[in-house]
């Protein structure tokens, strides 16, 4: 764990929680039924394809991958994936590559958050 992540955990700003079970219009729903508002979810996918836990969200294609538009899920527009191989960005399974992928995801999320919502 890098120092900045450890510091966030120690401050209580970062905590491991069970996977949410679904998206709602306003955010996500947890296994206990609780809800949390969310404008965006960033999923750091890691170095190997282990995305079965995303199946309940309805975002996996027949090959078990998430179809992307840039770093954003085509099926769930509030889900971005960063990391894991060429399908999430050039060399994104490397430290240098994931930096590029992460910067691109931040730019995409920033632009998406500036878009008016459908209800506006």
Contacts 24+ apart (CB under 8 A), 86-95: 88/45, 93/47
- Is residue 36 within 8 A of residue 30, CB to CB? The reply is yes
Residue 92 DSSP class: T
Residue 56, classed as helix, strand or coil, is helix
Shared-domain flag, residues 15 and 65: no
Domain count, the chain: 2
User: Given CA atoms 74, 79, 85, 88 in this order, what sign does their dihedral have?
Assistant: positive
Q: Which of 93, 96, 71, 69 is nearest to 81 (CA)?
A: 71
User: Is this structure's pTM higher than 0.75?
Assistant: no
Shared-domain flag, residues 73 and 21: no
Per-residue confidence (pLDDT) for residue 90, from 0 to 100? 64
Shared-domain flag, residues 32 and 50: no
Does a structural domain hold residue 120? no
Per-residue confidence (pLDDT) for residue 36, from 0 to 100? 93
Shared-domain flag, residues 101 and 50: yes
Shared-domain flag, residues 33 and 73: no
89-116 per-position pLDDT tens digit: 666 666 677 777 788 888 989 998 898 7
19-78 per-position pLDDT tens digit: 888 888 889 999 999 999 998 887 765 556 678 888 888 999 998 888 888 888 899 988
Structural domain containing residue 30: 1-38
Shared-domain flag, residues 15 and 61: no
6-30 per-position pLDDT tens digit: 898 899 988 777 888 888 888 999 9
- Is residue 28 within 8 A of residue 22, CB to CB? The reply is yes
């Amino acid at each position: 764990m890098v120092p900045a992540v450890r510091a966030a955990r120690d401050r209580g700003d970062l905590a491991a929680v069970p996977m949410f079970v679904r998206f709602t219009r306003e955010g996500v729903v947890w296994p206990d039924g609780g809800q949390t508002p969310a404008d965006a979810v960033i999923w750091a996918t890691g170095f190997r394809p282990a995305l079965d836990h995303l199946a309940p969200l309805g975002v996996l294609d027949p090959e078990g991958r998430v179809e992307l538009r840039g770093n954003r899920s085509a099926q769930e527009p509030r889900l971005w994936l960063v990391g894991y191989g060429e399908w999430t960005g050039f060399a994104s399974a490397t430290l240098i590559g994931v930096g590029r992928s992460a910067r691109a995801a931040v730019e995409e999320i920033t632009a998406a958050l500036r878009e008016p919502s459908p209800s506006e």
